[in-house]
């Protein structure tokens, strides 16, 4: 049931017709019995700033960021993690204590997949 306690999450980008993120994340939330919703939000370029400000106003817990906004979103954020600063790209916006914090998890995910496949391990 969606109510005032529902965790609001989503994906911003343009276009999003190809994305399976909402399907995947909403199924996961349901399977885990969590009161949350993951919304795909296709944002036209002129409205990116307003959309990011809306995340704060609507108390979104966080959103993923995809093409073409991974760099364009940075000026609208309050803070960047060290990873996001290093690559000057954001793929996750966290709303914490009224602040919007940009993160980049691409590098970590890439390294984890390499290690999972045995690349980089000493035999």
Cα distance from N-terminal residue to C-terminal residue, the chain: 50
- Which class would CATH give 7-116? alpha beta
DSSP character for 60? -
Helix and strand totals (H; E) in the chain: 4, 6
Distance CA(102)–CA(99), nearest Å, equals: 10
More confident residue, 15 or 107: 15
Active site residues: 70
Closest CA to 95 of 3, 6, 9, 5: 9
pLDDT of residue 119: 78
pLDDT of residue 123: 53
pLDDT at residue 40 tops 60: yes
Q: For the chain, give every domain's residue range.
A: 7-116
pLDDT at residue 121 tops 70: no
Distance CA(42)–CA(21), nearest Å, equals: 13
Specify burial of residue 99 (Cβ count, 10 A radius: 0-12, 13-18, 19+): exposed
Characterize the bridge pairing of strands 92-96 and 79-80: unpaired
């Amino acid at each position: 049931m969606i109510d005032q306690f529902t965790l609001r999450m989503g994906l911003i980008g343009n276009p999003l017709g190809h994305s399976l993120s909402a399907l995947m994340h909403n199924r996961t939330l349901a399977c885990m019995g969590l009161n949350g919703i993951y919304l795909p939000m296709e944002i036209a370029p002129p409205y990116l700033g307003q959309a990011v400000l809306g995340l704060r106003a609507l108390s979104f817990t966080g959103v993923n960021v995809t093409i073409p906004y991974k760099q364009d979103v940075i000026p609208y954020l309050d803070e960047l993690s060290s990873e996001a600063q290093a690559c000057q790209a954001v793929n996750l916006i966290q709303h914490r204590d009224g602040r919007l914090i940009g993160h980049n998890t691409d590098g970590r995910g890439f390294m984890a997949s390499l290690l999972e496949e045995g690349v980089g391990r000493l035999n």
